[in-house]
Amino acid sequence: MDISLEGKVALVTGAGPNIGSGVALALARYGAVVACNDIDPAAAKTSVERIERNGGTAIAVPGDVTDEEQVTGYLDRIVAEFGHIDIVVNNAALLGGKGVLDESSEFFSRAVHVAAMGNFLHTKHVGRHMAERGIRGSIVAISSSNGWSGSAGVIAYAFHKGGVNNFVRAAAMDLAPYGIRVNSFTPTAPTPDNPELIAERGAGGVLERPRAHGIGGATGDEEWRRPSRWAGDRAPLVPMGTTGTPTDIGHCVAWMCSDYARLITGCDFVVDGGARAKNFAYAPAAAGDLAGPLPLIPLDVTGELDKEMS
């Protein structure tokens, strides 16, 4: 099966530097022209440069995904430059945060607002663009394992990712008559594989270097506090030994946006080495005893060459 996105124009929001950059690179490597959005212009530019190093075509369209005027402005620019939009990946979100006892109303409101308006505005305006022109395109929202099951320390993130999941199903029903597909992808703590990000923060991800207070922020030290997460050494949690990388996510999202997935809408795809599927009482074998997945099929050729030369 030869997946090709040749002739398609894609927009990825929140395009740097981890999952968004990986998805944008994958879409470009499979043939799409990619518009890279981020609220940080430097991050959008860096994502474009990564694509161009790997032989793809991309432009930076920085802007705030919650500002309708800015959104329609860069959508108009994409259409003016490339003629149409066939793919949107709604990835922009605020990470981090705290648990329900400690989260601020300001952070909670902003995190929910970014996810809600980012998904809504791009799905609405690109959906209208597609419907008016008879484009049977693909819209993908990036969810999270925290949108499907509970985890301490990320109450705002859990709330808005849960909302993303049902937004996808409802939008899929709205847009199905036009042949426009809406799906979600659920990543689970991927290990970064962007060479620039690794150079900045070091190799490994959350599974190799657990944060001191779990996924969210620190809690207080009052006498009445009780720990919300196990702080000691943890047994391996992932049946296949790894939750993968943004490249794994990119391969799947590219297929979701291809014509091979023409009848798939209102669905969620999970690439996480079995992390979400396992029962809570199941502890995988030690990492050294696991066969693990097949070797990764790389997308960042420049990054692979750098590894070989080092």
Q: Which is the catalytic residue, given 157, 178, 260, 282?
A: 157
State the pLDDT at residue 14. 97
Look up residue 262 and give its two tokens. Answer: 């023409």
Residue of 215, 207, 231, 185 whose CA lies nearest to 284 = 207
State the pLDDT at residue 115. 98
Please, which pLDDT band fits residue 302 given cuts at 50, 70 and 90? confident
Q: Write the pLDDT tens digit of every residue in 136-154.
A: 999 999 999 999 998 888 9
Domain spans, the chain: 9-309
* Number of neighbours of residue 293 by Cβ within 10 angstroms: 12
Look up residue 200 and give its two tokens. Answer: 């900045």
Q: How far apart are CA 127 and CA 56, in angstroms?
A: 25
Q: How far apart are CA 128 and CA 134, in angstroms?
A: 10
Tell me which CATH homologous superfamily contains domain 9-309: NAD(P)-binding Rossmann-like Domain (3.40.50.720)
First to last CA, the chain: 34
CA 201, 204, 205, 207 torsion-angle sign: negative
* pTM listed for this prediction: 0.92
Given a cut of 90, is residue 183 above it in pLDDT?
yes
State the pLDDT at residue 287. 79
Which residues, at least 6 apart from 120, have a Cβ–Cβ distance to it below 8 Å?
167
Check if 157 is active-site. yes
Q: Write the pLDDT tens digit of every residue in 23-47.
A: 999 999 999 999 999 999 999 999 9
Token pair 């099929």 is at which residue?
Answer: 297
Do 80 and 51 form a contact (C-beta atoms < 8 A)?
A: no
Given a cut of 50, is residue 254 above it in pLDDT?
yes
